[in-house]
Structure formats: C-alpha cells, structure tokens
Structure 1
C-alpha cells in the first residue's frame, strides 16, 4: 500500500523496544504474544492492512520470524506493481 521500504530487522527491533520502553539491543529474540500483537498493530498503522494468513501469524515465535512475516505482508506479490 505504501511506498515505504520493506521492514527490516532494525525497524522491528525499534518498534519492539518502544513497547517495553527499552533499547533495541535489549529486545529478546523470542517474542511474547503481547509483543507480537503490538508489532502487528504498529505496522498496520504504518503500512495499512497487512496481508498474511492466520497460519503464518501463528508460526511467529522470534524476531526473525516477525521480520519475515512483515516483509511478506507489506511487499506486493511478485509481478504486481504498487
């Protein structure tokens, strides 16, 4: 939806750090359900509605998983121009 660059690890860590009032360096790799909910809500505010399946969301357990989910949810499908 937006022309913003796809989310990267640094952006995800920064958003998670906001949630806990901490620095990005102190964010654990493993995500809790509240952290994931916050993260999804923040990215929906920034990028509009995200496209992901319930199964993909259920599989997110780590920051790395979240980065992959958010990148695929924000980027248009291959061959589709925004």
Structure 2
C-alpha cells in the first residue's frame, strides 16, 4: 500500500522488534501481552492516532497477521 497510514506486516514486526532492541528476524509470529501493549502504543505514535480497541480486537491480535488486520481496521476507522 502506498498510503502513509497503511499498516504492513513489516511495520508491525519492526515495531515489535523495537521492544528490547531486537532484530526483526528475532520476532516470532505470536504476540504476547507486553508486546501487544507496546505495539498499540507504537502504532498510535507512528500513525498519529488514538486507537480504541475492544476485547475482540485485542484477542485477534495474538499473531502478527492478526495485528496487521486489526490495526488497519482501527486506523482506517479514525476520522481524519
């Protein structure tokens, strides 16, 4: 995607990797609760939005691919 607000898999992996200053190759597919909190915070900063997620959305973010989908939806839903 060319949109600056479009969330890509590489973006999510790089944001997770920045927790603990790891390389992207060290990031697995599963996301734990600490990584999830960090990821949402980083996405809010990166995309300049406040992300308000419900329990179902958080549950879907247990993997990198799930996080990409949820973040895309949540950021697209924020009025510009």
TM-score normalised by L of structure 1: 0.80
- How many residue pairs get matched? 77
**Post-superposition shift, 1:58?**
2.3
Gaps of 5+ in 2: none
Q: Deviations over 1:29-73 (max 9, x none)?
A: 011100000000111122211243221112321111111111111
Moved over 3 A (4+): none
Alignment of 1:1-82 (within 5 A): 4-47=4-47, 48-76=49-77, 82=80
List alignment gaps of at least 5 residues for structure 1. none
Alpha-carbon shift at residue 4 of structure 1 (Å): 2.4
1:22 deviates by 1.0
Whole-angstrom CA distance in 1 between matches of 2:46 and 2:62: 22
Larger Rg: 1
